[in-house]
Amino acid sequence: MTRTVYVNGEYLPETEAKVSIFDRGFLMADGVYEVTSVLGGKLIDFDGHAVRLQRSLDELEMRSPISKDDLLEVHRELVRANGIEEGMIYLQITRGAPDDRDFVFPDPDTTPSTIVLFTQNKPGLAASPAAQEGIKVISIEDVRWGRRDIKTVQLLYPSMGKMMAKKAGVDDAWLVEDGFVTEGTSNNAYIVKGNKIITRALSNDILHGITRAAVLRFAQEAQMEVEERNFTIEEAMQADEAFITSASTFVMPVVEIDGAQLGDGTPGRVAPRLRELYLEESMKTAI
């Protein structure tokens, strides 16, 4: 099926959507993005994603080409036009397409930002079989740049990390810097010891996950203990449970780290409960 996508103010069939070869997103990865999930035809955590998008733009001194209200309208129209019940909406804003390649930022008055949105249809996203079985991860060195709190489209190393995982016969990789886990290639990382959920504190070292914020809030409301601190791969291998969070995986149990099985190698008690809680609670505020 040909998707309807959104490019710079227009809804178009995906086959007719075009962006300039001089676009700075294409030439320099000078762009930011967001991924919002759709469940029951509604947007999950839209507000959180819109706020983080604005923060990413501000940090890079990039102008937004669209208001928050209009952005919501575009998301909704794409969900409607493409008949999305479960899936994702990808949004990207770049610093636009000046007349030529230049390291210096173009004048935003003469070079407007580029905005692109498209849908990804994923029936069965919430009832994913991977969530029943859990996923396996390896650890790799974190060699990304120092502003991982900005959600930029520079995704080559995360992509390489996924390939290293694939070659190792597992599902994903956790990134390690100075001996401590930062996060997953495209998700935040957690371990569980006893009744305590342990995850790295927010800083420029990791992306401030929208799912992370919601899950930690729901966990605390459910009287679970949360500790925001660094942890090593060795500590993770000794944990009772581990899991990841992201807009597209929600809460996903991790059952093996660097070949070491956690517990009995099946998802424990906490991660599946948090997944249930997250899906239940976030549906209540879906728009």
Identify the H or E element spanning 278.
helix 270-284
Interface residue with ligand PLP among 32, 39, 210, 242 (CB under 6 A) is 210
Q: Is residue 18 annotated as part of the catalytic site, yes or no?
A: no
Interface residue with ligand PLP among 119, 152, 188, 282 (CB under 6 A) is 188
Q: What is the maximal distance between C-alpha atoms in the chain? A: 60
Interface residue with ligand PLP among 245, 254, 262, 272 (CB under 6 A) is 245
Based on the shown chain and the rule CB under 6 A, indicate whether residue 152 belongs to the binding site for ligand PLP. Answer: no
Q: Which of 122, 136, 151, 167 is catalytic?
A: 151
Q: Residue 88 to residues 63, 85, 108, 118, 236: CA-CA distances in angstroms? A: 24, 10, 29, 8, 30
> Phi and psi of 105, rounded to 5°?
-60, 140
Identify each DSSP E strand in 149-204 by its residue range: 172-177, 180-184, 188-193, 196-199
Based on the shown chain and the rule CB under 6 A, indicate whether residue 189 belongs to the binding site for ligand PLP. Answer: no
By beta-carbon proximity to ligand PLP, the closer residue of 96 and 209 is 209
**Residue 11 CB, nearest approach to ligand PLP (Å):** 25
Residue 261 near residue 267 (C-beta atoms within 8 A): no
d(CA 237, CA 233): 6
87 bridge partner residues? 38, 121
By beta-carbon proximity to ligand PLP, the closer residue of 52 and 95 is 52
Based on the shown chain and the rule CB under 6 A, indicate whether residue 186 belongs to the binding site for ligand PLP. Answer: yes
Residues that bind ligand PLP (CB under 6 A): 35, 183, 186-188, 207, 209-212, 245-247
Positions marked active-site: 151
